Structure 1
Amino acid sequence: MIAVVPLWNSPPLDLTLDLGEIHVWRVSLAQTESCLQSLQQTLSTDERTKADRFVFPKDRSQFIVSRGALRAILSRYLNISSHILRFDYNPYGKPSLIVAQGGNTLRFNLSHSRGMALIAITKNRDIGVDIEGLNANFYCLEIAEKFFSPLENSVLRSLPEHLQATAFFTCWTRKEAYIKAVGKGLSIPLNKFDVSLAPGEPAALLNVEGNPEEASKWSLIELFPSSYMVAAVAVAGDCWKLHCWEWTGEF
Structure 2
Amino acid sequence: MPAIGDLPVAAAVLEHRAPAAAEPVAREWLAQALGVAPAGIGLDRDARGRPQLSGHGTRDCNWSHSGERLLVGLAPAGRIGVDLERLRPRPRALELARRFFCAAEADALAALPADAREAAFVRLWCAKEAVLKAHGHGLSFGLHRLEFALDPGPRLVACDAALGDPTHWAIRMWTPDPGYLAALAWRPW
Fold match (TM-score > 0.5): yes
Instruction: Check 1:96–1:77 CA distance in 2 against 1; reply closer, same or farther (3 A cut).
Output: same
Q: Could you report, residue by residue, the CA deviation over 1:29-60 in whole angstroms, capped at 9, with x for unpaired residues?
A: 15xxxxxxxxxxxxxxxxxxxxxxxxxxxx33
- RMSD of aligned alpha carbons: 2.3
Contact map agreement 2:148 2:157 (CA 8 A) in 1:
yes
Q: For residue 187 of structure 2, what is the amino acid of its counterpart?
A: A
- Distance between the aligned counterparts of 1:76 and 1:137, measured in 2? 36
- Distance between the aligned counterparts of 2:42 and 2:163, measured in 1? 37
Counting only pairs closer than 5 Å after superposition, residues 199-238 of structure 1 correspond to structure 2 as 201-209=152-160, 214-237=165-188
Q: Could you report, residue by residue, the CA deviation over 1:70-119 in whole angstroms, capped at 9, with x for unpaired residues?
A: 11112123333213433221222111122xx21x3221110011111111
Counting only pairs closer than 5 Å after superposition, residues 96-245 of structure 1 correspond to structure 2 as 96-98=52-54, 101-102=55-56, 104-198=57-151, 201-209=152-160, 214-237=165-188
Query: Which aligned runs of 4 or more in structure 1 are off by greater than 6 angstroms?
Result: none
Q: Could you report, residue by residue, the CA deviation over 1:135-171 in whole angstroms, capped at 9, with x for unpaired residues?
A: 2343111111111110110100000000011011000
- Distance between the aligned counterparts of 2:150 and 2:141, measured in 1? 19
Q: TM-score, normalised by structure 1?
A: 0.68
Equivalent residue, structure 2, for 1:242: none
Q: For residue 117 of structure 1, what is the amino acid of its counterpart?
A: L
Q: For residue 151 of structure 1, what is the amino acid of its counterpart?
A: A
Q: For residue 205 of structure 1, what is the amino acid of its counterpart?
A: L
**Structure 1 unmatched ranges of 5 or more:** 1-10, 31-58, 238-251
Contact map agreement 2:148 2:158 (CA 8 A) in 1:
yes
Instruction: Check 1:137–1:126 CA distance in 2 against 1; reply closer, same or farther (3 A cut).
Output: closer
* Structure 1 residue 24, shift from structure 2 partner: 1.1
SS in 2 for 1:167: helix
Q: For residue 50 of structure 2, what is the amino acid of its counterpart?
A: K
Counterpart pick for 1:69 among 16, 22, 25: 25
Equivalent residue, structure 1, for 2:19: 60
SS in 2 for 1:83: helix
**Structure 2 unmatched ranges of 5 or more:** none
The more displaced of 203-212 and 141-150 is 203-212
Equivalent residue, structure 2, for 1:246: none
**In the alignment, does 2:11 pair up with 1:24?**
yes
Contact map agreement 1:110 1:118 (CA 8 A) in 2:
yes
How many residue pairs align between the two structures?
186
SS in 2 for 1:173: helix
**In the alignment, does 2:46 pair up with 1:79?**
no
Q: Could you report, residue by residue, the CA deviation over 1:123-145 in whole angstroms, capped at 9, with x for unpaired residues?
A: 11000000112223431111111
- Distance between the aligned counterparts of 1:136 and 1:202, measured in 2? 21
- Distance between the aligned counterparts of 1:134 and 1:187, measured in 2? 23
